[in-house]
Chain A
């Protein structure tokens, strides 16, 4: 089906090469290069081409892997978990309702400490109506997975490889996210690595597996005598992940020259206000900053484990006095939405004004108009607000944005 877009990955890639592909196909290419044994997913927009592309490389003989079509995302996550626990390198992918259907099976993948990787092509979920476009459904469940978020096609290609490195070093399943349609379906230029480079970066590591050579119980019942200790040891293990991510980033940089940080301050020197966000919005904000050098950008590349102390240090060291958060999923009834909750917790000792802006849900464009509004609102913000979040970019009329303080769209 997608032979043409995947053509570049049908033959060995002997030297780094510049390609132009959509985010989904670029991920399919990167995953091909990591030589997975099992690929198991259930199709859902906007993730579909990532697995279609992989079925092409398998069915045309480029990749020796079991490409397993299953009956649901729940089955996809369960199958991926079982296969990975049995010793296979496994890739899965999903979005939206599929992610929600998987949620029951996500904690076991983390609890069993298996290095499974999964692409999330981030999309809204149904309520009150169906919407296939971008939102951050992946922030809903905190069950112990590592989460990387990509800004563009280059980063999502790189994350597919980094996720294998991080998952296998840390023995925690790792999901990597790109914004649905905005990255999944956008064609960008990016540099693909040579197959040998990817092979060198992702060597198979020894780990525990389901094996008759070493019998054991997986997922037995435990009483109140045991679960708290197990959860604590799980949490302590999770705390060892960030240095392993840094190690992976360093190895990756050494091989490719591309440098990544878990959290990065972009043009924050001397600013009083900074925006904390992640994903595809970062590039737009960075270009908007050219005319707005008074607003900094703090980009989260790693969302889980959340780089809490690093964020606090950036804000403290740079003397930033106000923080705006942009995120793409609301949480009705909660004090504020998911990303905001993490940022607020990280920065609470600093007692600075923080406002969480809900933007871009359901694929609504987040444009410079929104950034201008954020800037104005942050300018007006004095002290810690009673209402920690607000929606931005919601229309009241075709040419007028809804706002408690009524603001006209600038012509």
Chain B
């Protein structure tokens, strides 16, 4: 790609100066199984991982199948305007930067975040950040973003993608959900198959990022983390497990959202660990409106709230600043039961909401 910058720094403070307003952002915390009900297999469970509905047994070694690749599929739906990305809480500036950019992008936003679950992945709770970081360094969970304008995606990598066999096996060996691949004997064939699936997926992303190239190959979000304001969206004292990736993710999403919208932010949440751990018996950890409807509808509810506010504003029935609405859902809500709802909400927010003459931004 000639004429394309090698890398670019994106200052979060510059993003904050933008005056555009997102219509709907969905943050998926992917812990690779239905953790809330006790580690059952989902569409995001990687091959050979052991779950309670696909255990690593003598005959069948964990999940038979694939870990679905969802971000790229969403980026090719053809929306008019949208921001799609992967993120990892071990890279907080990257995650916060993406939340800020998504909330400043008219249309739809979707961020797929890897979320370690120490119970389901079976690792000591103090290793969460180390393991999460290794996931990206090994190539298991690459960081990239896709800006879509008029149906045309533009890719940017946020970290170099290297599929490193040794690091990948180190990552896998740290997770008890793969222990059946190492004991009683090392199953080289299965491990190689994991490496192959990760390599192939990464090659797809590299190919796409070259074919659908933005103006620079690599983009790094920058800012002074210590100078970011404390978020006021969720208080401590929730009931998530020690070392839960979701806890890191909520805090980082809230820091980004706080900088964009202050406390004029509404969260919707699918049924999940996050939902039950932050809202028990109406004594919630949330300091801003938080809405849980059903397992599969956090996207629809977020979209409907945003649409209602826009309509009321257009009709003169609401005078305030439009709130930012963020839907949060686990991998079940994203890849499986909520897939249809999420896909349609992304499309509505990424096309209908910005093209509709009644709702169009003035």
Q: Chain B 270-292 against A: per-residue CB contact (8 Å), 1 yes, 0 no?
A: 00000110011110101111111
* CB neighbours of A249 from chain B (8 A): none
Q: Chain B 300-320 against A: per-residue CB contact (8 Å), 1 yes, 0 no?
A: 111111011111101101101
Residue of A64, A86, A216 with highest tally of chain B CB at under 10 A: A86
* B: number of interface residues (CB 8 Å): 50
- The reply to whether B315 and A215 form a contact with Cβ atoms under 8 Å apart is no
Name the CB-closest residue of A to B280.
A221
* A: number of interface residues (CB 8 Å): 45
- The reply to whether B281 and A222 form a contact with Cβ atoms under 8 Å apart is yes
- The reply to whether B297 and A83 form a contact with Cβ atoms under 8 Å apart is no
Does A80 touch B at the CB level, under 8 Å? Answer: yes
Q: Chain A 203-242 against B: per-residue CB contact (8 Å), 1 yes, 0 no?
A: 0100000111111111111110110000000000000000
Q: Chain A 70-90 against B: per-residue CB contact (8 Å), 1 yes, 0 no?
A: 111011001111111111101
Among B279, B302, B320, B348, point to the contact of A220 (Cβ < 8 A).
B279
Does A166 touch B at the CB level, under 8 Å? Answer: no
Does A37 touch B at the CB level, under 8 Å? Answer: yes
Contacts A75-B341, A81-B301 given; does A212 touch B263 at CB 8 Å? yes
* CB neighbours of B309 from chain A (8 A): 86-87
- The reply to whether A78 and B263 form a contact with Cβ atoms under 8 Å apart is no
* CB neighbours of A74 from chain B (8 A): 296-297, 341
CB of A388, distance to nearest CB on chain B (Å): 36
Does A175 touch B at the CB level, under 8 Å? Answer: no
CB of B16, distance to nearest CB on chain A (Å): 19
- The reply to whether A220 and B281 form a contact with Cβ atoms under 8 Å apart is yes
- The reply to whether A213 and B320 form a contact with Cβ atoms under 8 Å apart is yes
Docked CA distance A354–B96 (Å): 68
Does A274 touch B at the CB level, under 8 Å? Answer: no
B344-362 contacts to A (CB < 8 Å) = 344, 348, 352, 356, 358-359
Does B264 touch A at the CB level, under 8 Å? Answer: yes
Does B294 touch A at the CB level, under 8 Å? Answer: yes
- The reply to whether A82 and B280 form a contact with Cβ atoms under 8 Å apart is no
* CB neighbours of A281 from chain B (8 A): none
Among A66, A78, A217, point to the contact of B311 (Cβ < 8 A).
A66
- The reply to whether B304 and A82 form a contact with Cβ atoms under 8 Å apart is yes
CB of B303, distance to nearest CB on chain A (Å): 7
* CB neighbours of B286 from chain A (8 A): 215, 217
- The reply to whether A78 and B297 form a contact with Cβ atoms under 8 Å apart is yes
Q: Chain A 93-120 against B: per-residue CB contact (8 Å), 1 yes, 0 no?
A: 0000000000011001000000000000
- The reply to whether B289 and A218 form a contact with Cβ atoms under 8 Å apart is yes
Q: Chain A 379-410 against B: per-residue CB contact (8 Å), 1 yes, 0 no?
A: 00000000000000000000000000000000
Does A65 touch B at the CB level, under 8 Å? Answer: yes
> Could you list 20 examples of A-B contacts with CB < 8 Å?
A37-B311, A37-B312, A37-B315, A40-B304, A68-B307, A70-B344, A72-B340, A78-B300, A78-B341, A82-B297, A82-B303, A87-B308, A88-B312, A212-B265, A212-B289, A212-B323, A217-B286, A220-B280, A221-B292, A226-B281
